[in-house]
């Protein structure tokens, strides 16, 4: 059984306002990500604030540690609720392939270009907990991927929205202009 998790925390400092609420093709990035995950599995949003109507959980062990703390929260919930796998994406990952779980599988794996998009076995929870509890470690997605021996999957053309210009470029592409 697989649990989906949209990572929707972070400061959106390059974007200038909460990018989860920015709109693309008439829907917020959050609604689009949730909609994509809901096609594959049950899901939660991991963020520092409620994102109703989607079920939202806080980062573990605390906010402001980056996306890995969102992965940790999702893996802990998955373990407690009896899931085997966690499928993660960023709220700013636009254009997820329709076959995302198959494109990533078998776990553990993540996209080389965007390691927040990944498929993680629930037993990776002990690795992420140890990593985030060690102040001497890099709390980065790539370090986590390395420690769990994740395959880095190449070739995925998923856009990553960091700035308003990134979003404008995507809109121009979907308008064909």
Ligand X SMILES: Nc1nc2c(ncn2[C@@H]2O[C@H](COP(=O)(O)OP(=O)(O)OP(=O)(O)O)[C@@H](O)[C@H]2O)c(=O)[nH]1
What is the number of alpha carbons within 13 Å of residue 71 lying toward its C-beta?
Answer: 35
Q: Minimum CB separation from ligand X for residue 174, in Å? A: 20
Q: Minimum CB separation from ligand X for residue 161, in Å? A: 8
Nearer to ligand X, 78 or 92 (CB): 92
Q: Minimum CB separation from ligand X for residue 177, in Å? A: 26
Q: Minimum CB separation from ligand X for residue 175, in Å? A: 24
Nearer to ligand X, 70 or 108 (CB): 70
Residue written as token pair 């990572």: 7
CA-wise closest residue to 6 among 118, 83, 98: 118
The answer to whether 10 touches 20, Cβ cutoff 8 Å, is: no
Nearer to ligand X, 61 or 106 (CB): 61
CA-wise closest residue to 38 among 101, 106, 110, 103: 101
CA-wise closest residue to 72 among 24, 132, 145: 132
What is the number of alpha carbons within 13 Å of residue 54 lying toward its C-beta?
Answer: 30
Nearer to ligand X, 118 or 121 (CB): 118
Residue written as token pair 């709109």: 23
Nearer to ligand X, 79 or 139 (CB): 139
* Cβ neighbours, 10 Å, residue 49: 13
Q: Minimum CB separation from ligand X for residue 176, in Å? A: 27
Contact residues toward ligand X (CB under 6 A) are 7-15, 46-47, 59, 63-67, 69-70, 90-92, 116, 162
113: three-class secondary structure by DSSP:
coil
Strand partners, 155: none
């Amino acid at each position: 059984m697989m649990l989906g998790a949209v990572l929707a925390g972070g400061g959106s400092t390059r974007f200038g306002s909460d990018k989860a609420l920015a709109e693309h093709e008439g829907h917020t990035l959050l609604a689009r990500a949730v909609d994509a995950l809901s096609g594959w599995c049950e899901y939660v949003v991991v963020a520092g604030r409620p994102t109703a109507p989607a079920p939202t959980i806080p980062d573990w062990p605390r906010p402001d540690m980056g996306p890995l703390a969102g992965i940790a929260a999702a893996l802990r919930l998955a373990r407690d609720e009896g899931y085997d796998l966690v499928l993660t994406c960023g709220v700013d990952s636009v254009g997820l392939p329709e076959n995302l779980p198959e494109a990533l599988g078998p776990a553990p794996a993540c996209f080389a270009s965007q390691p927040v998009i990944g498929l993680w076995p629930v037993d990776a929870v002990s690795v992420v907990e140890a990593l985030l509890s060690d102040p001497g470690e890099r709390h980065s997605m790539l370090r986590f991927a390395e420690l769990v021996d994740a395959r880095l999957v190449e070739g995925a053309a998923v856009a990553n929205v960091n700035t308003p210009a990134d979003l404008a470029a995507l809109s121009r592409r979907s308008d064909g202009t």
